[in-house]
Structure 1
């Protein structure tokens, strides 16, 4: 039986959350461990994932490895290129969402409006059109990939800020429903899973201290 991957990060979402999402979609259970300070962190950076005898850092490298290992990365180079392009778009959006808890209230309010505008005019129309043009259930090759997982993570993340974010995107609404009912993802969305809640204001000082 393969050893479970070990995750090294804080107890919050941050950059590890996309890794948790992808492992969950692949149906992989993980060991959750605390941060390490024994010199094993390459570049002194987290997230770090111990998997297959490696201590991997750099979020994109980890996600690509997991996607390849668990057949969530397309069937050929062209499909992988499309998957990567779609993921980069959602990564840009998620980066803005992740920064919100660390912003002052007035700045946060303005940025929520900006994020919503970007999502609904720049990003979501792309994915809505992809689903319309090829008529398949998934973004690439009609098979679950890390692009689908990343998009669902972003949709749900934005809906926490703006519940009606998908109001003008019927195909993305259907996509969200389908993806959320995939058994491994449905399990991840239940209380008590490895999925992390939004960072709380009381936790911000300790998170800042860790990453400085």
Structure 2
């Protein structure tokens, strides 16, 4: 027979063995829970990303006021989808469906919103992707430069829609304003601060807007920057930013210059 001492010793050994096994089981359980939790969080984040989806752009198959939005999204490295408005009937459907706040396009569906008014859309994208400066003063300069570039941009944009008998005069007006009013301002800005970008020595919406406008002006007159060496260097520098360079390649969402066929189709849609 076992003595009381031996019985007690056996019990203590068994108890330690059971406790050790329980600790091992608890350890494995914790590992499984942590792994499951991490996987669940990762899956949750992926689900949120999938729910967010790509921005969806509603506009006709041309440049217009959507082109600056395409440029800015592309520069930010954001992929987007386009829902092209190709008939008057589809435009009317959007208007009567309540999606167009002021019954106008462009419209961008993004982050759960259906945004209209091109400047509001551009401001949102710039703020979201850190292209609107570091403080309110930088934001003010960016807005001023953007508005100036967009004034010239709009003159160029509307040229194909002008009556044939006024196009030559309007063309001369655009070249004159580009070379005496707008480009001299940007040339001086770059000269005065000696930096690579227009504001704060970092990429902003203003740089992208100016590059778009420069390239549109060069489509009218290839040597339009001949008297603006700093703008020529600026154009090359911004054009070689990887996301911008990608947007400038053939096959990108960038739209070609507006031709007569596009003008005719656009008029039918918006008549």
Query: What TM-score, normalized to structure 1?
Result: 0.97
Unaligned runs of 5+ in 1: none
Higher helix share: 2
Report the counterpart of residue 4 of structure 1 in structure 2.
54
Shift of 1:210: 1.6
Q: CA deviation at 1:106?
A: 3.3
Q: Distance in 1 between matches of 2:63 and 2:119?
A: 16
Give the whole-Å Cα distance in 2 for the aligned partners of 1:108 and 1:182: 35
Counterpart CA distance in 2 for 1:169 and 1:81 is 25
- CA drift at 1:41: 1.1
Q: Aligned with 1:43: secondary structure? A: coil
Q: Which runs of 4+ in 1 moved over 3 A?
A: none
Gaps of 5+ in 2: 1-48, 86-90
Alignment partners' CA distance in 1, 2:210 and 2:235: 9
Provide the residue aligned with 2:171 in structure 1: 112
- The within-5 A match list for 1:1-212 is 1=49, 2-35=52-85, 37-38=93-94, 39=97, 40-212=99-271
Cα distance, 1:113 vs. partner? 1.1
Q: Which has the higher contact order (CA 8 A, sep 6+)?
A: 1
- Provide TM-score, normalisation by structure 2: 0.76
Secondary structure in 2 matching 1:27: coil
Aligned residues: 212
Q: Distance in 1 between matches of 2:80 and 2:160?
A: 27
Per the TM alignment, residue 203 of structure 1 is displaced from its structure 2 partner at its CA by: 2.5
Alpha-carbon distance between aligned partners in 2 of 1:202 and 1:20, rounded to the nearest angstrom: 21
Q: Deviations over 1:158-212 (max 9, x none)?
A: 0000101100000000000001100000000011000000122123222012223
- Partners of 2:176 and 2:257 lie apart in 1 by 21
Structure whose alpha-carbon radius of gyration is higher: 2
Q: Secondary structure at the match of 2:115?
A: strand
Residues of 1 paired with 2:84 and 2:180: CA distance?
A: 39
Query: Secondary structure of the residue that 2:114 maps to in structure 1?
Result: strand
